[in-house]
Structures are given as C-alpha cells and as structure tokens.
Structure 1
C-alpha cells in the first residue's frame, strides 16, 4: 500500500537523503518503499532544536533519516538523562520514545518526541504563569 502525501505549493519533503520541492501547484504523491520520509513541517534543524525536548527530537530525527541509531546514541542518552533530571515528569515520554527506538519504530519515536515537545512547552507556559500544577500528559 502506497503512502499518499499531498504537498502545498512550494512545500518540501525529505525522502531518504533527497529533498523534493513542490512546484507552484498542489501535488499528490504516492510513495512505495521503505525510505524515511519527513514533511518540511516535521523537520528540525540544529539551529531550531533550541530546547531540551527539541534536541531529543532532533537526535531521533537523525536516527530515523540516517537509519543509524549508533551514530547519535551517546548524545541522545546524555540529552535524555539531562531532561529527566530537570523534569522527572517527562519519564513517561522518554520510556515511550526508547521503546519505539528499541523496536525499530523510529517514525513512531518521532511522533512521541513531538508530544514531548508539546509537553515541554506546556511546562514552560505553566512556569511562566506561576502555576504549580503539571500539565496533563498522555505518557
């Protein structure tokens, strides 16, 4: 079964180590195969990975796109350990991400890492507002 991707005008898509850029019209692509695929909106760069959760997402993204967990494994675990020490309430997300990585489901690990980014943003918002309650998590 093919993956169906609809691209807006000018939108980009990463397929494996290639970048596909759409023209000036909406386009529908059907993709078969096992290459890693990420939409432009789901891609973080080193510069935009500017928070602990985003750096974890970026590390998982590198694992997914390069199909090489070992290349960033040490950095990933350092990032995870630092985050859990600073915010123990994130452990449920980290456990889920680790489970997906261990089972080879790196795209699913990315989705959970995206949830972690949202949770982190909620934590920051609560801290800025002075709230003492933790945001609810789906972890």
Structure 2
C-alpha cells in the first residue's frame, strides 16, 4: 500500500492516466502501479537536451509498458549517445547505475540516476553558455 498526499491542483500519473487533485487529497494505491508525481513528469517539449531526452524515454518506458520494447530501444539509443559525451567520473558512475537499473527494467529507480545526469549536464552546459544556467 502506498499513500500519496497531493496539494490542491497537483498532478500525478498512475498507469499512464494523468490525475489532478481538487483540494488537498490523499490517494491510497493498494496494488502495484506505475506512479509519478507531476513534478517528476516532463513533456516532449521539455526534453530539450540529451539527458532530458533520456529521462523522457525512461519515463515513457515506466508509464507506458504496452510499448515497452519501443521505449527500451529509444532509452538504449539515447543512453549510448550520452555515455560517449560524458567525461566526469561521477557522471559515468550515474550512467553505470542507470544502465544497471535499465537492464533490470527498473525504470522508476533509473529516473533518479537520470536526474543526476540532468544536473551534471546543466552544470557542464552552464560552463559554456550562461543561457543554460539554471
């Protein structure tokens, strides 16, 4: 059993359905489900960097298991591209952790490693252009 507390207007994705709370809401999930809070969801338009595209593909593999093979293929392709571009040891470690979770189809947990890669990417891009600074 999982209890989620949602603020007024907060979104949550449960098995691909986007739900929005009206008022402060408690949701109790009593069986296994793919769940993402709205703050952990990105849109295709927000996936504007290599690490964000990887996050989006991994997120889709998690919340859209009906097209898992298609999403997995996209994740692996994007991961390979990103891995070749990363040089920092801590980012490589996040890549290895991400790859291990993807190999086990643990997409939800892989998203955390991907958030680390997004943060690394933002720092790297900020060094080259102030426009990327968060």
What TM-score, normalized to structure 1? 0.82
Q: Is the 8 A contact 2:7 2:24 kept in 1?
A: yes
Query: Which secondary structure state, in structure 2, belongs to the residue aligned with residue 96 of structure 1?
Result: helix
Decide which moves more: 48-57 or 75-84: 75-84
Q: Match of 2:109?
A: 108
Q: Match of 1:58?
A: 56
Q: Match of 1:34?
A: 32
CA distance in 1 between counterparts of 2:64 and 2:56 reads 12
Query: Which secondary structure state, in structure 1, belongs to the residue aligned with residue 18 of structure 2?
Result: strand
Q: Match of 2:42?
A: 44
CA distance in 1 between counterparts of 2:77 and 2:107 reads 18
Q: Deviations over 1:22-68 (max 9, x none)?
A: 11x21122212111001111001111101110000001001101225
Query: Which secondary structure state, in structure 2, belongs to the residue aligned with residue 85 of structure 1?
Result: helix
Q: Deviations over 1:60-83 (max 9, x none)?
A: 001101225411233222212221
Cα distance, 1:20–1:10 mapped onto 2, change above 3 Å: same
Decide which moves more: 96-105 or 67-76: 67-76
Number of residue-to-residue matches in the alignment: 127
Cα RMSD (Å): 1.7
Query: Which secondary structure state, in structure 1, belongs to the residue aligned with residue 70 of structure 2?
Result: coil
Decide which moves more: 35-44 or 84-93: 84-93
Q: Which has the higher helix share?
A: 2
Query: Which secondary structure state, in structure 2, belongs to the residue aligned with residue 38 of structure 1?
Result: strand
Unaligned 5+ runs, structure 1: 130-139
Q: Is the 8 A contact 2:62 2:108 kept in 1?
A: yes
What TM-score, normalized to structure 2? 0.85
CA distance in 2 between counterparts of 1:104 and 1:77 reads 12
